[in-house]
């Protein structure tokens, strides 16, 4: 990692104020959101303990975005996510969501690259234009989204099969030495002592 790519350190104080060590100034939660939008790496820590608070601040940004404007998560989707907490498949679901979002972002970037190849620097990539374009291309996008969901379903199934295979191998190795002896194996071992001849 070069100096230009060093992670920006932001300290959070007990009064909830955020101090940006790079600019030597206090910033707002909106400024942190702008750092996210500009793809600038940063890390938020507790000013006293050094505890990493990046996730909690990002969750706060998501909560504020969900409360105003058009929400990204439906109530049913949030309920489904909550049900995964504490389950054996929690980590699996986390990786699945992360990989799905990464694949969707890659698809979006490829689409924007195609627009740039057609229009150059005049490519209409604004939010309003994109919204209008997506509304006109709804059938094609729905078909593409269905294909993407099917691919994601297959990926999840593959991950589940791998997890089941690993689990069977793990428990098989653990209990292989605990199998009870059969009658045949018992008879091939030590024999019971015979009664001595009394004559």
Kindly report, residue by residue over 137-195, the tens digit of the pLDDT: 566 666 766 776 677 677 777 777 777 787 777 777 666 656 555 555 555 555 555 55
What is the per-residue pLDDT for 184?
Answer: 53
**Is residue 61 a contact partner of residue 33, using CB atoms and an 8 Å limit?**
yes
Distance CA 172, CA 177 (A): 9
Distance CA 44, CA 51 (A): 8
Name residue, tokens 């194996």.
185
Cα 18 to chain centroid, rounded: 26
Token pair in block for residue 84:
């995964």
3-state DSSP: the chain helix, strand, coil percent, rounded to 5? 65, 10, 30
Instruction: Give the global pTM.
Output: 0.61
């Amino acid at each position: 990692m070069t100096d230009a790519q060093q992670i920006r350190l932001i300290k959070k104080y007990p009064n909830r104020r955020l101090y940006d060590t790079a600019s030597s100034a206090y910033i707002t939660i909106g400024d942190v959101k702008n750092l996210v939008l500009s793809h600038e790496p940063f890390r938020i820590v507790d000013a006293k303990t050094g505890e990493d608070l990046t996730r909690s601040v990002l969750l706060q940004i998501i909560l504020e975005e969900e409360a105003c404007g058009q929400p990204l998560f439906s109530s049913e989707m949030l309920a489904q996510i909550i049900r995964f907490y504490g389950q054996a498949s929690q980590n699996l679901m986390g990786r699945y969501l992360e990989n799905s979002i990464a694949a969707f972002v890659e698809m979006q970037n490829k689409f924007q690259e195609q627009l740039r190849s057609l229009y150059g620097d005049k490519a209409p990539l604004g939010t309003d234009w994109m919204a209008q374009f997506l509304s006109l291309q709804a059938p094609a996008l729905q078909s593409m989204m269905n294909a993407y969901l099917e691919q994601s379903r297959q990926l999840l199934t593959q991950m589940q099969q791998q997890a089941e295979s690993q689990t069977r191998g793990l428990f098989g190795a653990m209990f292989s030495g605990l199998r009870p002896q059969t009658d045949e194996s018992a008879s091939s071992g030590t024999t019971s002592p015979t009664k001595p001849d009394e004559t």
